[in-house]
A and B are shown apart, each in its own frame.
Chain A
């Protein structure tokens, strides 16, 4: 089966173009956009880890190593599409237009972190595993019913494919031919459990066969491979061709979360041969003549300033409003909940 799903690649680890036919599709604008976003979310991720260590945000799940997969997929989406992320997909969310201050706020335990910018369809990160796969199917089904060309993407990891909701989501999408992209980041581990223990199949892409669904396996650390395969899937979904399953093979460089110690379950040195996706892109840029020191330096500065400003805004954000504990459970508070709220606010006011 694995032979039927070769890993699609556009650039290799050394940054050389593997297939010359792709060369024409790569232009400076795309390369710089890719680099900017990958560097931006990498810097965000590093900052978040550092803030967690300093006790300035809560537990955080890093996505380092998965930047090509997240940026390559998110950049292929259109303005009005829907994005259903997991807790490890804040890189994709930021690339698609999530607000950075609010993203930090989310990891600081704030509801504000789940509210997307006005007009942007970004769902709050799913914390249960695979549940969002059904939401993406439903939301894209709604778009199809409305007669738009908008689509939805569901992000999920390798572990999620063991959940029932993964199969139920793919089945619904297949039966109703919804414009949905199921974007898997196979990063090798679900917390401590390796791919080989998660499933006996050798690929995730092959699971599409059961649902008569086009599926493809891409090098998830190759921005261009991800981006081009995403474009095909997006085009298929928009033109009424139904859902696609994409397996982006990548590697979780770090821990599951800042509360996790991977040395307990991952042999030392494992994954060291994986070339970092940003290094790979840099090599390509240098090989292909897209590297411009001034542009890159300027981008780095811009990103660092943006992140510093976002951290500052997060830390100077008004304190969580205790009324928000009650206010959004229902459109209108039932009497008994209103009483609980009033009594608690009265207690606080009496202090």
Chain B
């Protein structure tokens, strides 16, 4: 880790996405005594991905808490802690293990504020590494965002870069409502970025333009961002200019950034690794339909995972959208 001063005089360090998450948690634990970390192996072991590495040593077993192996238990007790003055950051070891806790999130975390007309609320963050492509065992590679973007009462964020990961994590902890924080495990250590050393936030609900372009808008998030950028660079060599939108927040989605871009380019491809049917891509197509229908020069294309369970690792590279499939999708809308 190197520390240097950038042009804007903000001290930064060159770190990976997982280090940025660790850094974000360290900052909130320092700033706010009511924050707690709960999860399986998050304490002594520092998390199976080392996301909480070193935090228990600094903040103690009492705030970085190794829990029993019990997802519903982690989320259910976190709800009780949250309604009684604490801000739990609950780690679900892999998103594919979140299903036992779905009941607690769906029937309680997401609706306690409404049920009690604001008397009780659940300021809780659920961290969950997601996605395929790291040759993990089965069930470790799911992308279940649509199960939660469909769920009223919870926000869903998914950073793609170290900078966004830290800023969004701090914003999620400060949010007064439950936030599902999806971490692209494929990007955990795949690249580094200059990240401010100090506290900062990235606003929940705002997407980011990763590449400026004129001919087609590519909309994606999380682990797919670098893949989409690669496809966009490849298209540049063929004279097609792509605008890449990284949504960063999956609920509430930044509709404006989608509409502005699609109204400029007239063409859009949505890329995500979750299955196609019922995927968030369909909502994005609907947003384009609602906001930008008359600007379209071609039907919106979706490049997604297939309607199959996320496969064993030997087949995962066939499941995940590849540069080749994304390029095909772009060509389809540009040649329409």
Query: Which among B78, B104, B115, B252 has the highest number of chain A CB atoms within 10 Å?
Result: B115
Q: Is the CB of B117 within 8 A of A111?
A: yes
Interface status of A143 (Cβ within 8 A of chain B): yes
- Chain A 108-147, CB-CB to B under 8 Å as 1, else 0, gives 0001101110000001100110010111111111110110
Q: Is the CB of A135 within 8 A of B113?
A: no
Are A115 and B103 also in contact (CB < 8 A) when A135-B108, A142-B80, A334-B252 are? no
Are A131 and B80 also in contact (CB < 8 A) when A142-B86, A328-B117, A330-B177 are? no
Q: Is the CB of A168 within 8 A of B73?
A: yes
- With a CB–CB cut-off of 8 A, which chain B residues contact A114? 115-117, 119
Interface status of B153 (Cβ within 8 A of chain A): yes
Q: Is the CB of B77 within 8 A of A172?
A: yes
Contact of B80 among A135, A171, A329, A336 (CB under 8 A): A135
Are A115 and B117 also in contact (CB < 8 A) when A137-B77, A334-B252 are? yes
Segment with Cβ contacts to A, from B14-22, B50-58, B64-72, B213-221: B64-72
Q: Is the CB of A134 within 8 A of B76?
A: yes
Are A165 and B120 also in contact (CB < 8 A) when A131-B107, A139-B84 are? no
Q: Is the CB of A330 within 8 A of B103?
A: no
Q: Is the CB of B113 within 8 A of A330?
A: yes
Q: Is the CB of A128 within 8 A of B76?
A: no
A335 and B258 CA atoms in complex are apart in Å by 14
Interface status of B194 (Cβ within 8 A of chain A): no
Q: Is the CB of A142 within 8 A of B81?
A: yes
A37 and B86 CA atoms in complex are apart in Å by 34
Interface status of A175 (Cβ within 8 A of chain B): yes
Query: Which among B76, B121, B153 has the highest number of chain A CB atoms within 10 Å?
Result: B76
Are A134 and B153 also in contact (CB < 8 A) when A171-B70, A331-B121 are? no
- With a CB–CB cut-off of 8 A, which chain B residues contact A124? 112, 115-116
Interface status of A254 (Cβ within 8 A of chain B): no
Closest to A173 in B: B77
Interface status of B79 (Cβ within 8 A of chain A): yes
Closest to B177 in A: A330
Interface status of B205 (Cβ within 8 A of chain A): yes
Interface status of A58 (Cβ within 8 A of chain B): no
Interface status of B152 (Cβ within 8 A of chain A): yes
Smallest Cβ distance from A326 to chain B, in angstroms? 9
Interface status of B316 (Cβ within 8 A of chain A): no
Smallest Cβ distance from B151 to chain A, in angstroms? 11
Are A135 and B79 also in contact (CB < 8 A) when A143-B84, A331-B121, A336-B252 are? yes
Interface status of B271 (Cβ within 8 A of chain A): no
Query: Which among A116, A134, A139, A324 has the highest number of chain B CB atoms within 10 Å?
Result: A134
- Chain B 176-194, CB-CB to A under 8 Å as 1, else 0, gives 1100000000000000000
Smallest Cβ distance from B283 to chain A, in angstroms? 10
Are A168 and B116 also in contact (CB < 8 A) when A331-B121, A331-B177 are? no
Are A145 and B86 also in contact (CB < 8 A) when A114-B117, A124-B115, A137-B80 are? yes
A237 and B250 CA atoms in complex are apart in Å by 43
Closest to B71 in A: A168
Q: Is the CB of A139 within 8 A of B80?
A: yes
Q: Is the CB of B85 within 8 A of A123?
A: no
Interface status of B195 (Cβ within 8 A of chain A): no
Interface status of A82 (Cβ within 8 A of chain B): yes
Interface positions of B from 111 to 140, Cβ below 8 Å from A? 111-121
Closest to B77 in A: A138
Q: Is the CB of A165 within 8 A of B72?
A: yes
- With a CB–CB cut-off of 8 A, which chain B residues contact A82? 84
Interface status of B100 (Cβ within 8 A of chain A): yes
Smallest Cβ distance from B223 to chain A, in angstroms? 24
Leading 7 A-B pairs by shortest Cβ distance: A138-B80, A134-B76, A334-B252, A168-B73, A142-B84, A138-B77, A139-B80
Seed contacts A114-B119, A134-B72; 11 additional CB < 8 Å A-B pairs: A112-B117, A115-B116, A131-B76, A131-B107, A135-B79, A138-B78, A172-B68, A175-B68, A334-B205, A335-B205, A336-B253
Write the residues of chain A forming the contact surface with B, with a CB cutoff of 8 angstroms. 82, 111-112, 114-116, 123-124, 127-128, 131, 133-143, 145-146, 152, 164-165, 168-169, 171-172, 175, 324, 327-332, 334-337
13 sample A-B contacts, Cβ–Cβ < 8 Å, listed by A number: A111-B114, A114-B117, A128-B108, A131-B103, A133-B76, A135-B79, A138-B81, A143-B84, A169-B76, A330-B113, A334-B252, A335-B252, A336-B253
